[in-house]
Structures are given as structure tokens and as C-alpha cells.
Amino acid sequence: MSPRRAPSQPPVLPGYEHRRLLGSGGFADVFLYEQVLPSRPVAVKVLLTEAVDRDVVEHFRQEANVMAQLSSHPSIVTIYGAAVSDDGRPYLVMEYCPRPNLGVRYRSDRFSVSEVLALGVQIAGAVETAHRAGVLHRDIKPANILVTAYNRPALTDFGIATTTGEADVAAGMSIPWSPPEAFAEPAWSGRESDVFSLGSTLYTLLAGRSPFELPGGSNTSLDVISRIERGEVAPLARSDVPASLEALLRSSMETDPRRRFSSAQALGRALQQVEAEMSLSVTQMDVLDDSLPVDAVDDEDGGATRIRGVVEIDPHVDDPPRLATSAPAPPPPTYAAAMVSEATVLRPSQQPAAAPGPPIPRPGELPVAADPESPWGAASAQAQATRRKRSRTPLVAAIAAGVVLVAVVGIGIVVSIGADPQATQPSSTPTIAPPDATAPSPPIAMAGAAEGDQVRFTWTNPSAQDGDEFAIRSEPSDGDPIIQTIQEAEILLPADPDGRTCVSVAVQRANGLQSTYREVCLDG
């Protein structure tokens, strides 16, 4: 881990009086100032002098513009202004959140199930809002969820490590909460990547540790990356956590993005359903959508989800930076593998490839197995496993050799995902909702278990409604395809003689709408 540095000197800012240091990161320091008029405490994030160059200043400007578009959301930290100090350092003036962030709290406090559900719904609304605005966060973790004076969670860390050129110089990640695609070669991000990180963050609050840390075991960065790639989530070991909640959190952390919730909103709605099952008050999920008129309010699920039109802060804001596929990587310094760091780290970019990298899924889309351009498609399970094992080699070498740790305090990492308003309509509806006209969410928590010469497959309907059934497809190697509709969330199939038994399942609504199919296989 990089040694601690001394904090920079706080700049003299007209209209603000310095109070104290709040925190230090790899690129910036965050200070508490008192704004003179109107009088209020504010957090001011100031870039380090050595970090200031043309690209970084441009990234900082992009960050301010992105935050200006998103910070009206009640669960996203508000930005008040941005400028350059007299000594040439760019700074952001942000809402001061005085309570300990969730990264501090989970190490000492035991979170109740009801609190985790409520803040999960609220942050899911913030993430969905960012996605609809064309922005991926890519560094969701407990430390990046601050707590306001009114005890409301507020997502922070948008933009500081994002570049605007044709290639990313470095992509940021916090290893314990990063999805497996973050360690691929080349790395890629989609909406499902943020779903993974949000799910792992909620799991952390319940478990008191990140999902892929093994209590009492070795938890170096290499160990944790290996478990993430294999999907080895450590047991939660809390009797007060409903099985449905643990199942949906595990589903959000599936190694295959196609098996996760298709959107942050779908995850938030599943959390609302657990609240309803536990007879808790259902937390409202606020989503801002710039495809709606500014004064439009669309209450869904009987008011459980409220979608509003986004108020544009600056109509001339440039588009947020888009994810590039490659860039030359600087040689990493030496490093001795240690316990996994929770800080954001810089991932050296890959050398330019002959073919374009995998596309980022647009809002509302999932990588499709039949799509040869999908990073998870057109390959057998064995080929995918081989590719994942091979693809993390450069990253593992970089971590073992010394990836620079960047504990960015304040506002972090975003990429544009080309939002399509028509593609971001809700994909699931919980039981508390009235009948809708949208397709249901696909099954989650799919599993198979051998029973003699048969295999029993089970799954969970994440948005169950009366009249739901399940469409089943299976293609055994020695017989005719099995196509049927059943009512129970399980099926018993003959074990396939080739040693791999698979079934695809879709949720089918009474009104005729059907989810996408999801497949589960058992080797044996």
C-alpha cells in the first residue's frame, strides 16, 4: 500500500473560511470550509498541485458538469460550485455530510436488515438516475455512500479518474466490490456492473466484511480477485436476514452479467418486495429521467417508485466522457501482495487491440449469448472460463507489481453509456404494484442439485404476481427438446448423459407478457 502523504495546504478561497481537513486521496484533499454567504459548512475537494495538468483539469470540469446534472437527486451528494483557486488548483464545493460514511460504519456497527433494505432502495434510485442520464458510476462501495445531516444516504465519487480522449489512461476500481468484468482483458463496464457493486455493498453492510473476503482466511488482492471471478461469496451467517434477501443479493453478484438484475431499478424493486414480505414500510425509490418533461411525475407501484423529469442545470453541458477501449499502460512500480485494499485503485489500460473492444450495453440491454460482439457471448462455458483465467493475468501482475492506490475522497468515476430513453423503461414490477404493461424480470437465484439419475432445478421469481407461470426449455443431448409451462418454481429433469444438464426458464405473466430466458446448468 502506498505510504501516507502529508495533506496539501488549503487554498484561500474568496467567500469561504477554512476549518479543517476532512480526508486525503490520491488526486485530491477534501477540506471543511464555512461558506460566508449563505452561511453553511461545505466540503471542498481540491486537486493536488502535482496532479494538475491539462487532462486532469478537463476531467475535473467533466466531473462538475456531470454532478450538476445528477445532484438534484435526494440520494446523490449535491455540488454547489466549481472554480480554480488563485494558486491554480481546481476545486469543487459540495454538500457537507457530517455523519460517518458507510465504509466507516460497517466496521463498527451492526446494520439492521430494515436499514439496509431502505438505503439499498434509495441508492438504487440514485444509480438508476445516473444510468438514465448516460452515466456509469463504476466505484460503488460503502465508503462512497455518505450520510447527510438528515440521516439520508448520498452517493458520491463521480468522475475524477475518467478521461475524455480516445482511450482511458486508467480505469478505477475498488477490488472488494468490483465485478469480474473489471478484471477482464480488456475490462468493460455496463449497467450490470454497477448492479454487482451495489449488491456487494449491501452484502457488506449486513456481513460486516466484503462478500469475497474469507473470515480467518487469506484475503490478499489476488485471493479476493480469484473468488470474485469464481463467484465464491462467503456465507452471510445472519439468522435475521430473510433467505429471499440473501438470494437476491447473491443474484446481483453473479459472475455472468446476464444472470444479474438487468437494472438498478429492478434490484431496488426486489428490495422493496422483501420489505413488503417482512411487513416493513416500503421505501420510496426516486428516479429522475430526462426523457420526461421537467414537471412530469410518474408514480409506479402505487407510489413505491416515483419517476420525475430531470431539471437541466446547464443546457450547454458537454456530454460526459465515454468509455474507451485501450491505452498504453505505464510500467507499474514494485509491490508486495498484502491484505486486500478497500481503496480505489488505478487499473493500467491495455495496449490498443486490432479489433474493437466489447460494446457497453445500452440501458435496458443485456449482453446476449448469441451476439458475437457480446463480451459474454458466442463462446462455450469452458472457453469463457479459460478466457477469464487468462484475461486477468495482466491485471494480477499489475496488482502484484504495484498498482497505485487512489483513495479518491469525494467524487470519482463515471463513463457514458449512451442512454436511450426508450430502452430504460422498467423491466419488473413487485407484488405491491398494480397490473402493469411491462415484461416481468427473469428468474434469479437459479440452482441445480443432483438426485440420483435426475437433476432438480430451482429458482426464484423476483417480482411474483398472481397467475405467474414459468416457461421451460431444455435440450438434452439424446432426445427431443423439452418445452412446457409449469406453475412451481422448480422442475425435475433426467440427468443428461453427456454430463451437463441445462434448463432455461422465463417468467410468464397472466397478461401474456414474458421475461427473457435465463439458463442454469449442472455438471455431473
247 plus 267 within the same structural domain: yes
pLDDT at 299: 56
Q: Which residues form the domain of 108?
A: 102-322+413-423
Q: Could you give the CA distance from residue 379 to residue 180 in angstroms, rounded to a whole number?
A: 17
pLDDT by residue for the chain (524 residues), tens only, comes to 344 678 899 999 999 999 999 988 767 899 999 999 999 999 999 988 877 777 777 777 777 787 778 888 999 999 898 888 998 899 999 999 999 999 999 999 999 999 999 999 999 999 999 999 888 888 899 999 999 988 999 998 775 433 222 234 345 578 999 999 999 888 888 899 999 999 999 999 999 999 999 888 899 999 999 999 999 998 888 999 999 999 999 999 999 999 999 899 999 999 999 999 999 999 999 998 755 554 555 555 555 665 655 433 232 333 333 333 333 333 333 333 346 767 666 554 444 433 333 333 333 333 333 332 333 333 333 434 444 444 455 555 555 444 433 333 443 434 444 444 333 333 343 333 343 457 788 888 888 999 888 999 998 898 888 889 998 988 888 877 788 889 999 999 999 888 899 999 989 888 778 888 888 899 87
Q: Does residue 248 contact residue 98 with C-beta atoms inside 8 Å?
A: no
Query: Looking at the domain assignment, is residue 309 inside a domain?
Result: yes
Per-residue pLDDT, 394: 52
DSSP 146-174: EE-TTS-EEE---STT---SSS-SEEEE-
What pLDDT is stored for residue 391 in this prediction? 47
Same domain, 88 and 158: no
C-alpha distances out from residue 279 to 170, 272, 283, Å: 45, 11, 12
CATH value at residue 229: 1.10.510.10
Q: What is the CATH number of the domain that holds 505?
A: 2.60.40.10
Task: Quote the pLDDT of residue 298.
Answer: 56
Answer yes or no: do 151 and 228 share one domain.
yes
Do 280 and 195 share a domain, yes or no? yes
CATH code of the domain covering residue 20: 3.30.200.20
**What distances in angstroms separate CA 191 from CA 133, 281, 493, one per listed residue?**
12, 28, 34
Q: How far apart are CA 424 and CA 485, in angstroms?
A: 29
Asked, for residue 27, whether it belongs to a domain, the answer is yes
User: 304 with 432: CB under 8 angstroms?
Assistant: yes
Overall domain count for the chain: 3
Can you give the pLDDT at residue 47? 87
Q: Cα–Cα–Cα angle for 273, 151, 310, nearest 5°?
A: 70
Query: Could you tell me which residues are annotated as the binding site?
Result: 45
Q: Is residue 393 part of a domain?
A: no
Which positions are catalytic? 138
pLDDT at 482: 86
The answer to whether residues 77 and 159 belong to one domain is no
Last residue of a domain, one of 423, 453, 471: 423
Q: Is 267 found in the same domain as 223? A: yes
Q: Does 305 share its domain with 158?
A: yes
Of the residues 95, 115, 150, which one is the last residue of a structural domain? 95
User: Residues 304, 310, 313, CA angle at the centre, nearest 5°?
Assistant: 145
Q: Which of 73, 95, 117 is the last residue of a domain?
A: 95
- Residues tagged in the binding site annotation for ATP: 45
Predicted local distance difference test score (pLDDT) of residue 353: 39
What is the structure's pLDDT at 227? 94
Q: Residue 408 has what pLDDT? A: 37
Quick one: pLDDT at residue 339?
60
Q: Is residue 77 within 8 Å of residue 22, measured between CB atoms?
A: no
Q: Are residues 151 and 39 in the same domain?
A: no
Per the CB < 8 A criterion, the answer to whether 342 and 404 are in contact is: no
Do 44 and 146 share a domain, yes or no? no
Residue 285 pLDDT: 95
**288 in the same domain as 208:** yes
